[in-house]
């Protein structure tokens, strides 16, 4: 089997998270809200956030950071655009960027001069909350001054004197910082529809002259790295505000859709209850497509592990 494309269709349950937010207005952090085709509003986590999580895990899982370009070694978002010793010939610049960096190859880049773009081989849609299975709340938090606390804890005469000294030193800062700051932070829980496409056939492909610029062994390494990054991203989703709102990952279920020929995998949104059945019907109508279902994280990881040893589709170019 030579894998052309892989599609991930899943419903994942995240509890008490704040993975993606619109921004902060005053002292209130607003969660992401999206509108569906029927006009219904629901909670959302952007594809940018999910793609960033996957890219970070690609970077993290690769022990030899010399296989990244100088920008990606530091996980800089501009990637190949920071390479200073490239040529002005687009084809050569593309070849240099792809061959010298795993992350630029897998997750794409945009170079201003010469003007070239490398589309990502990994694509994510929004993770959309199932409307009747998503909940959100706003919690009030406060930051208290340590000055008052020091006074309360000063029990002995020496401790009281030390506290008075600390109060004097803090007066200048207290003029600028209030003793108590109230702020509002969102927390969300629910079942989210997640879709992602991975295109292994494009790994190492210079899409200016459509020639592969790295060896098959290197393509295989990058293929395996991307698959393992999916496992890492879903087993512990580490996005925004996880220092205090690390998601409780309760469960995941869905299907992997695999194409073994130059035909795209179907993507039926898990927003619909029958997404697995509909996908099965589409797969059965097209030779070269297959579907593998999973009902928990362990099964998902096991299916990914089975794919690690498979060959990668390669264009038959003259």
Give the tens place of pLDDT for each residue, 85-117: 666 788 888 898 899 999 999 999 888 777 888
- Residue 317 belongs to a domain: no
Asked whether residue 124 is domain-assigned, the answer is yes
Quote the number of domains for the chain: 2
- Helix (DSSP H) and strand (DSSP E) numbers for the chain: 8, 16
Q: What confidence tens digit (pLDDT) does each residue in 68-92 have?
A: 988 899 898 777 666 656 667 888 8
Indicate whether 29 and 173 sit together in one domain: no
Query: Same structural domain for residues 105 and 166?
Result: no
Q: Which of 184, 200, 220 lies at the terminal end of a domain, its last residue?
A: 184
Q: Are residues 82 and 20 in the same domain?
A: yes
| Confidence class for position 149, pLDDT limits 50, 70, 90 | very low
Confidence of residue 180 (pLDDT cuts 50, 70, 90): low
Neighbours of 148 (CB within 10 A): 13
Are both 179 and 198 inside the same structural domain? no
Looking at the structure, do residues 229 and 297 belong to the same domain, yes or no? Answer: yes
Answer with the one of 184, 218, 252 that is the final residue of a domain. Answer: 184
218: number of Cβ within 10 Å: 17
Domain extent, residue 148, equals 140-184
In this structure, is residue 106 part of a structural domain?
Answer: yes
Evaluate whether residue 75 is within a structural domain. yes
Residue 146 carries which DSSP code?
A: H
For residues 237 and 251, membership in a common domain is answered with yes
pTM: 0.84
pLDDT digits over 274-305, tens only? 999 999 999 999 999 999 999 999 999 999 99
Do 7 and 44 lie in a common domain? Answer: yes
In percent, the amount of the chain with pLDDT more than 90 equals 60
Burial (Cβ within 10 Å: 0-12, 13-18, ≥19) of residue 313:
buried
State the Cα–Cα distance between residues 5 and 258, nearest whole angstrom. Answer: 6
Q: What is the pLDDT of residue 191?
A: 97
Q: How far apart are CA 126 and CA 119, in angstroms?
A: 18
Q: Quick one: 36 and 120 in the same domain? A: yes
The residue-averaged pLDDT of 206-220 equals: 96
Residues 149 and 196 in one domain: no
Q: Are residues 85 and 169 in the same domain?
A: no
Residues 158 and 90 grouped into a single domain? no
pLDDT of residue 76: 82
Euclidean distance between the first and the last CA atom of the chain, given in angstroms as a whole number: 22
Count CB atoms within 10 A of the CB of residue 53.
Answer: 21
Query: Rounded CA gap, 127 and 237, in Å?
Result: 12
Least confident of 87-96, 142-151, 175-184: 142-151
Residue 199 shares a structural domain with residue 300 = yes
User: Could you tell me if residue 318 is inside a domain?
Assistant: no
Do 197 and 265 contact (CB within 8 A), yes or no? yes
Q: Return the pLDDT at 164.
A: 55
């Amino acid at each position: 089997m030579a894998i052309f494309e892989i599609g991930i269709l899943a419903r994942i349950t995240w509890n008490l998270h704040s993975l993606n937010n619109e921004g902060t207005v005053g002292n209130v952090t607003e969660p992401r809200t999206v509108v569906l085709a029927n006009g219904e509003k629901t909670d959302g986590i952007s594809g940018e956030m999910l793609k960033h999580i996957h890219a970070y895990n690609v970077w993290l899982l690769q022990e030899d950071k010399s296989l990244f370009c100088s920008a990606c070694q530091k996980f800089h978002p501009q990637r190949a655009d920071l390479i200073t010793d490239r040529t002005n010939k687009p084809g050569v610049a593309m070849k240099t960027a792809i061959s010298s960096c795993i992350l630029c190859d897998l997750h794409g880049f945009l170079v201003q001069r010469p003007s070239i773009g490398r589309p990502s081989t990994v694509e994510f849609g929004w993770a959309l909350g199932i409307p009747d299975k998503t909940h959100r709340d706003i919690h009030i938090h406060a930051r208290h001054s340590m000055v008052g606390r020091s006074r309360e804890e000063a029990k002995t005469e020496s401790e009281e004197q030390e506290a008075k000294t600390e109060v004097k030193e803090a007066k200048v800062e207290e003029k600028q910082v209030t003793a108590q700051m109230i702020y509002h932070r969102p927390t969300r829980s629910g079942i989210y529809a997640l879709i992602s496409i991975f295109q292994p056939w494009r790994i190492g492909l210079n899409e200016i002259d459509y020639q592969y610029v790295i060896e098959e062994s290197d393509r295989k390494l990058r293929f395996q790295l991307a698959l393992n990054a999916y496992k890492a991203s879903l087993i512990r989703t580490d996005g925004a505000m996880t220092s205090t709102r690390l998601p409780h990952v309760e469960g995941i279920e869905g299907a992997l859709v695999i194409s073994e020929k130059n035909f795209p995998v179907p993507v039926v949104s898990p927003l619909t209850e029958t997404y697995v059945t509909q996908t099965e019907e589409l797969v059965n109508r097209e030779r070269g497509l297959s579907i593998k279902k999973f009902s928990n994280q362990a099964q998902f990881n096991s299916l990914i592990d089975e794919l690690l040893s498979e060959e990668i589709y390669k264009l038959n170019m003259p």
